[in-house]
Amino acid sequence: MNIRAILPLLLFFGLAAPIGALVPSAVAQDKGTLHPKPLPPLANPDDPALAAKQLFGRKTLPAAGAPYVIGFYARGCIAGAEALPVTGPTWQVMRLSRNRNWAHPAMVALLERVSAKARRDAGWPGLLIGDMAQPRGGPMLTGHASHQIGLDADVWLTPMPNRLLSRNEREEMSAVMMVRRDRLDIDPRAWTPSHLGVIRAAAREPSVERIFVNAAIKKALCREAKGDRSWLSKVRPMYGHDYHFHIRIKCPPGSPQCESQPPPGPAEGCGAQDLAYWFSDAVLHPKPPKTPPKPKPPITLSQLPTACRQVLAAPDARQ
């Protein structure tokens, strides 16, 4: 089926998500809790029909061993994941109750590096980091279809306050909406030149494969970028990115079972024809389908790469 033909329906039902996956995205407005409760044991964890998210969502620590990425962004897992410290000199992690500040060490290093560049080059106080991956990656109990292999990370478009956020603030604070109410452009009351500098700092990193933003944000970047604009080719419009941008990096060395996307072409993607679809009436004002689509069955363990079974069975890494 043509993906563009069904995206308006997916948008109406809150199902649009990054390439390779069509499930709801966990947004910055979804609040956390100060008192997360451990999930109850599964009655039959070996049931072949059991959703893989039930297995990976119960792992609170990474698998022991060297960092190793398995599969695609929306269908895979990771061994030897590293946690981004929840507080750093130029970043703070949000929604700690989700336990999703895990990733491949290359992503952890990139976020630390980009946060420092954002402060130095864009005058940004620091980054507020949203969801990265679960300790062993894999499908999540809520939210993203991607973020499964430790190579994706969400960064809020709200600057970090110049103070240490409390645990309650990290669970309850909402990100700032960047898109105008009519969805045709950014909100000038929220958008600043520094936003361009932060996204540009990330896009210029050689390991970055894609950056997903709302189409109105892409439009603003195209309008405002000066000088070298080659980094714009990595920035792609995508649903569900009104409050944050999504960084995706390439497969790292030493993970031959990792599957990257094709590299982006050299075009900026700023032409009227490049953005027309995203600002069409069918996308901005989708009509409800006459017959609601059936929910897509969740991914089972058998549908993930075989090596993900070993990742689940591996002992916890020492912390």
Between residues 165 and 288, the one the model is more confident about: 165
Between residues 245 and 10, the one the model is more confident about: 245
Q: How confident is the model at residue 7 (pLDDT cuts 50, 70, 90)?
A: very low
CA gap 110, 206 in Å, rounded: 10
Tokens of 219: 């439009």
Q: In the chain, what is the straight-line distance between the N-terminal and C-terminal CA atoms, in Å?
A: 46
CA gap 10, 289 in Å, rounded: 10
Q: Are 73 and 67 in contact (CB under 8 A)?
A: no
Tokens of 177: 């909406």
pTM: 0.90
Q: What percent of the chain has pLDDT over 70?
A: 91
CA gap 42, 60 in Å, rounded: 15
pLDDT of 31? 86
Q: What integer best gives the mean pLDDT of the chain?
A: 90
Span 190-241, pLDDT tens digits: 999 999 999 999 999 999 999 999 999 999 999 999 999 999 999 999 998 9
Span 255-304, pLDDT tens digits: 999 999 999 999 999 999 999 999 999 999 999 988 988 888 999 999 99
